[in-house]
Structure 1
Amino acid sequence: MSMIRRSVLSAVVAFSFAPALPARAAPAVGQPAPAFTATDANGRTVSLAEFKGKTVVLEWTNEGCPYVKKHYNSGAMQNLQKSATADGVVWLTVVSSAPNAQGYLAPDAAKGWKTKNNAASTALLIDSSGAVGKAYDARTTPHMFIVDKSGKLAYMGGIDDKPIADSASLNGANNYVSAALGDLQAGRAVATPVTKAYGCSVKYAG
């Protein structure tokens, strides 16, 4: 057997038996929420671990998405944020748009957006690498997740049951996030722990 042929065969064998890369486990209700560290609009490092013992809401957003505008222009999102944080909930709004992609906010622009909209979130995280969004498999804006006090994922999905961009659809809507927070505060299991998220696609890099 020629030296070239032996080299090619060795390469094929090595490739065939190379261990597969482990797949990222999808987030699941009842399982520990994916850990993360990110930087907020003020330049502060924020990690999920620092909120151990508290209920945490994760809200994916995109300032140009009509579905996001529906909740912010009406004041519905801010009211929910205020109600939740008044009850001791940590509310983290996440922007996972990549730089130069629609919806991306640099730190100063992020602070301006939050102030302009009177947002009452605990922090606005700039996840331009998409690491946090991909860890949670966040696909839309808004996409909502709730982590309970034990650090387990208690809810994941849409903000409500009206997948329409028109703010009129808020009338009579069943807000899944509000209901889930109410269940957790009362010490009950979340009645509807998983729903289908709706909105604009998250603008990840690549």
Structure 2
Amino acid sequence: MFSRNVLFSALASMTISASAFASVEVGQPAPDFSLTGADGKTHSLADYRGQTVVLEWNNPECPFVKKHYGGNNMQKQQADAVAGGAVWLTINSGAPGKQGQLDADSANAYIASTHAKQTAYLFDPDGKAGHAYGARTTPHMYVIDGEGILRYAGGIDSIASADKEDIAEATQFVPQTLAELAAGKPVSMTKSEPYGCSVKYGG
């Protein structure tokens, strides 16, 4: 378990400044991409037009990712979103040789071991998709509506810690956004500060 002081020191060292990225703005069209998945298929955002899409940036070795998978928070959100008709795409933008970078076999083993419920696990080794979205941390979450408009970008929840015990007390932003979109309501929290490990881009 991380102490609060150690945690925020780690966050400061692992999080990349937002100014290093050109990211899409909430309320604007989400950038399209075509990425190969652990299932061997190519997945493009355009393939899912008409459906709500959740993007989750992932690094299996990051302690903040481990918090949400170890606490079954990410899997529950994935399962609930998919059951509600949304598409959930997990993206790994780790460059070859970097921490958390996976190939298809290791990604499928990770999915099986964590009982993950995403629609697809995608590889972005050159970081183009990650940079297009301004993905800075793992996790970093995005929600795109059926018209292809970005409606939420930011952290998975409201408590920036690596402690699983905090999950129950936190506001979970993706389920909240999905429920509001499904009800035809304005999204109440469109942006939040992401927290976690820096995305392990190359170069």
Question: Where do residues 151-162 of structure 1 align in structure 2 (5 Å cutoff)?
Answer: 151-162=148-159
Out of 114, 133, 152, the residue aligned to residue 117 of structure 1 is: 114
1:137 maps to amino acid: G
Q: What number of residue pairs does the alignment pair up?
A: 183
What is the match of residue 175 of structure 2?
Answer: 178
Deviations 1:64-110 (A, max 9, x none): 00000000011111011101100010000000000100010011101
2:76 corresponds to which residue? 79
2:198 corresponds to 1:201: yes
Q: Do structure 1's residue 139 and structure 2's residue 136 form an aligned pair?
A: yes
1:5-154 aligned within 5 A = 26-154=23-151
Q: Distance in 1 between matches of 2:176 and 2:112?
A: 27
Residues 86-137 of structure 1, C-alpha deviations (whole Å, 9 max, x = no match): 0010000000000100010011101110111100000000111111111101
Q: Which amino acid aligns with 2:99?
A: Q
Find the residue that maps to 1:170 and give its secondary structure: helix
* Paired amino acid for 1:120: K
Deviation for aligned residue 1:43? 1.4
Write the letter of the residue equivalent to 1:145: Y
Q: Give how far 1:26 is off.
A: 2.6
Structure 2 Cα separation of the partners of residues 30 and 111 of structure 1: 34
CA distance, structure 1, for counterparts of residue 96 and residue 40 of structure 2: 17
Q: State the structure with more CA Rg.
A: 1
Task: Report if aligned partners of 2:22, 2:131 keep a CA contact under 8 Å in 1.
Answer: no
Q: Secondary structure at the match of 2:129?
A: helix
Q: Quickly say closer, same or farther: Cα 1:44–1:55, change in 2 above 3 A.
A: same
Letter in 1 for 2:128: A
Instruction: Extract unaligned runs of 5+ from structure 2.
Output: 1-20
Partner-residue secondary structure (3-state), 2:43: strand
Deviation string for 1:159-203 (max 9, x for gaps)?
Answer: 001100010111211011111111001011110001000000000
CA distance in 1 between partners of 2:168 and 2:109 (Å): 29
Deviation at 1:25, TM superposition (A): 5.4
Question: What secondary structure, in the 3-state scheme, does the structure 2 residue paired with 1:77 have?
Answer: helix
Give the secondary-structure state (helix, strand or coil) at the position aligned to 2:141.
strand
